[in-house]
Structure formats: C-alpha cells, structure tokens
Amino acid sequence: MSVEIICDVEGVEEFKQAMQNFDSGMQRYVHSQLASWAADVKALAKQLVPVRTGYLRSTIYAKIEEWTAEVGAEASYALFVEFGTRYMQAQPYLYPAIQAYLPRLEQVIVDALDQAKMEAEM
C-alpha cells in the first residue's frame, strides 16, 4: 500500500523566477562593481609606481573574469620592482593600491547584492 500526497504550493513558479532574476542581476551588478573597483586600484597603482621610462606604468592592467578581479603589470621586471631583489629595495605599488581599496570591496559586493534583490523584487 502506498500513499501519495500532492502539495500544490502557491508561488513556487514566482519564487523560481525571482531567484533567476536575482542570480542574473547579481552577476551583472557584481561584474560592473568589480570592474569599477579594479579600475580604481589600477589608477592608484599607476600613481604609486616608480617611473624611470614609464614602461612599467604603461603595462599595469585590470581584468574582470566572472567573479575575479585581476590587477597586475605585464612588464617582465614588474615583480622585481614590487618585491625587490637582493640588490634593489622593494618599491611596492600594487600591494598598497589593493590595500587602499580593500575595505571598499566588501561594500561593493553588498551594494551589488542589494541592487540585485531590488531588481528581483525580493
């Protein structure tokens, strides 16, 4: 003997749609907020980097891929300037730029979540 109970819960489809809207909105807002944050970090790193020829400064970049912000420099000697060598003292420019904007990163994510919730009417 088996008993089958069927529950028809009102609002399930609406809830599914709201969650899909929230997910897509959250991705969109987090991406745009991260892009803005990374651009600010990049700008500060460009101000802080020591300049001899300007090449290192010209190779500083910011990229956003999905949930990841990457800020760095492509010059082959960028690492040596940031961390130093046994012959040269470190002249950090990326780490201080990231540290300066790190407190804002949490707020960026919270704001993006709030915007996504409003859009999804949650």
Q: Are 97 and 60 in contact (CB under 8 A)?
A: no
Among 98, 88, 119, residue whose Cα is nearest residue 38? 98
Residue 34: Cβ within 10 Å count: 21
Q: Are 24 and 32 in contact (CB under 8 A)?
A: no
The full set of domain ranges for the chain reads: 38-119
pTM for this prediction: 0.74
For 91, phi then psi, to 5°, come to: -130, 70
Residue 113 pLDDT: 78
Environment class of 69 (CB within 10 Å of its CB; exposed 0-12, middle 13-18, buried 19+): buried
Q: Model confidence over 5-49: pLDDT tens digits?
A: 555 556 666 666 666 666 666 777 788 888 999 999 999 999 999
Q: Model confidence over 60-72: pLDDT tens digits?
A: 999 998 778 899 9
Q: Does residue 73 have a pLDDT over 70?
A: yes
Handedness of CA 96, 101, 106, 108 (dihedral sign): negative
What number is the average pLDDT over the span 93-120?
86
Residue 66 pLDDT: 78
Joined together, the tokens standing for residue 75 give: 């010059």
72 strand-pairing partners: 61
